[in-house]
């Protein structure tokens, strides 16, 4: 029998009990920092949070472009989701959404609070 290639171990494994106990703490830290930033933006007219949200969105759009580049070269412009791409491009696709989704959420929070 030929040697089968070994599966690479996942270095990012977090046990479920640690994740369940750390997630609420991390969520509270994020909510408190965003809430204080929004109140600062409201009272002093500071645009730092708005610029940060636009920066996150810009990084996400650039990553999404590079993730979809093989599809653009195949002239497949109207595909949706990462199932049409493989390898590193699929990881870039998910990384793009890691930047885009918080940006949309932050812009929505800023819009709702600054009206």
Task: Provide the pLDDT for residue 59.
Answer: 93
Section 27-55 average pLDDT:
80
Does 22 score more than 70 pLDDT? yes
Inside any domain, residue 6: no
Least confident of 29-33, 53-57, 62-66: 29-33
Token pair 């106990």 in the structure block, residue? 21
Answer yes or no: is 23 within a domain. Answer: yes
Q: Is residue 12 part of a domain?
A: no
On whether residue 93 sits in a domain, the answer given is yes
The whole-angstrom separation of Cα 108 and Cα 89 is 28
Number of domains in the chain: 1
Q: Are 67 and 13 in contact (CB under 8 A)?
A: no
Domain extent, residue 30, equals 17-113
Q: What is the pLDDT of residue 3?
A: 62
Look up the pTM and report it: 0.65
**Mean pLDDT for the chain overall:** 81
In a domain, 68, yes or no: yes
| CA atoms of 13 and 65, how far apart (whole Å) | 29
Q: Is residue 106 part of a domain?
A: yes
Q: Is the pLDDT of residue 66 over 60?
A: yes
User: Is residue 9, in this structure, part of any structural domain at all?
Assistant: no
């Amino acid at each position: 029998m030929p040697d089968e290639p070994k599966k690479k171990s996942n270095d990012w494994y977090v046990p479920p009990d640690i994740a369940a106990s750390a997630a609420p703490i991390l969520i509270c830290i994020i909510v408190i920092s965003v809430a204080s930033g929004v109140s600062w933006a409201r009272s002093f007219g500071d645009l730092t949070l708005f610029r940060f949200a636009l920066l996150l969105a810009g990084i996400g759009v650039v990553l999404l472009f590079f993730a979809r580049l093989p599809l653009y070269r195949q002239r497949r412009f109207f595909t949706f989701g990462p199932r049409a791409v493989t390898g590193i491009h699929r990881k870039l696709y998910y990384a793009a959404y890691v930047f885009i989704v918080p940006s949309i959420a932050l812009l929505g929070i800023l819009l709702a609070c600054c009206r």
